[in-house]
Structures are given as C-alpha cells and as structure tokens.
Amino acid sequence: MRALSYRTKIEFGVTAACLVFGGFFTVLAMQIPKDMEEIIGPRSVPLFLGVMMMALGVLISILSVLDDKNDAAADTNGADFSGDDDFGFRDSDIKRVFEVIGCGIVYIALFWAFGYLVATLISLGLMLLAFGNRKLGTLVALPIAGTIIYQAIFMGLMGLHDPAGELIDISAVGNFISGN
C-alpha cells in the first residue's frame, strides 16, 4: 500500500480543524434557547453552519483520499507529480497567517469592550491590511459598508441580540442601522 501524499495529509488536518471548530460551534448553537413558535429560530443558522462545517470537512477528506488513489494509479503509469510537495503550508506566508489570527483576537477583545459594531468595523479594516490592501479609500469605505450590511442582516433581519460593550455602549448606533 502506498503512503499518503503530503497533500492528503494536509487535507486530513483541515478536516480535523473543521470537525473541531464545527463541533464547537454546534455545541454553542445548541445552547441557544429554541423558540417553539418559529420553524427557523435564532439557533437555526448557527446550528446549520456548525453542522455544514463538519460535513464539508469530512467531504474534503473523502475527496482527498479519492484524489490520492487517482494520483497513485497515474503514478504507476509514469506520470510526474513532483508539484505535489508544494501544496500545503511549507511555503505559506506565516506572517500573514499570524496577522489573520491576530485580527481574530483583536475582534474578540473589541467585541467585548465596544460591541459588535466597532469590532466589525475595525477588524474588517485590519483584515484588508493583513491581505495587503493599502488604498485609503478601500480601507475606509469597505469596512463601513461591510459593517452596515452585517449589522442590517444579523441584527435587523435575523433579529440577533447585539450585546452592549463592557467599556463603551454604542448599541444605539447599531440599533439605528438595524432598524430596531
């Protein structure tokens, strides 16, 4: 039996991460009280996303194993798969990976301190910077537009609760945007 390729091993790692995070989100979603009067209540979307994350993670591994078998069959026919070793994290931009992780940490801290609106606004700008955008117009306009759209969708249309920040409460601005 042929050993698994580097790519397949990486994709198993991606599946493991999807299962861990999807399971975590699913458990958290199950803790949201179920509204008996609505078919689609406040926990439906988070529960769906958690379960889909796990299902798609499993699908990644299934397709990876099937692709690995196809590569093994082609390899016996003399095909060259030397580019396979370039897949994964070996040549990743580790600085950018840590910048994105840092954006998540900043988002969580800002969410606690100032609430959803400020956290989303600043974090969207930081993500643009992390991915190399340096155009001032984009760095200002896109986070503002994205924050307004997210606020309108999640707090306005979906009716999710927007908790006040522990340090500064600007939920009145968020309520104005979402129409609450």
Of 56, 72, 91, which marks where a domain is finished?
Answer: 91
3 lies in the same domain as 87? yes
96 lies in the same domain as 85? no
5 lies in the same domain as 72? yes
Q: Give pLDDT tens digits for 65-124.
A: 888 777 666 555 555 555 555 555 666 678 888 999 999 999 999 999 998 899 999 999
Distance CA 61, CA 10 (A): 10
pLDDT of residue 176: 87
pLDDT of residue 89: 60
Taking every pair of C-alpha atoms in the chain, what is the biggest distance, in angstroms?
Answer: 67
pLDDT of residue 7: 80
pLDDT of residue 18: 93
Q: Residues near 174 by Cβ (< 8 Å), separated by ≥ 6?
A: 115, 116, 117, 151, 155, 162
| pTM of the complete model | 0.58
Q: Which residues pair with 115 in a beta bridge?
A: 164
Q: Tokens at residue 38, please?
A: 């609505």
Of 45, 75, 91, which marks where a domain is finished?
Answer: 91
Domain that residue 150 falls in: 92-180
56 lies in the same domain as 115? no
Distance CA 11, CA 2 (A): 17
At residue 82, what are phi and psi to the nearest 5 degrees? -65, -20
pLDDT of residue 27: 93
Contact 55, 3 (CB under 8 A): no
60 lies in the same domain as 106? no
4 lies in the same domain as 86? yes
Supply the mean pLDDT for the chain.
84
The total domain count for the chain is 2
Q: Tokens at residue 21, please?
A: 């995070």
For residue 86, the 8-state DSSP code is: G
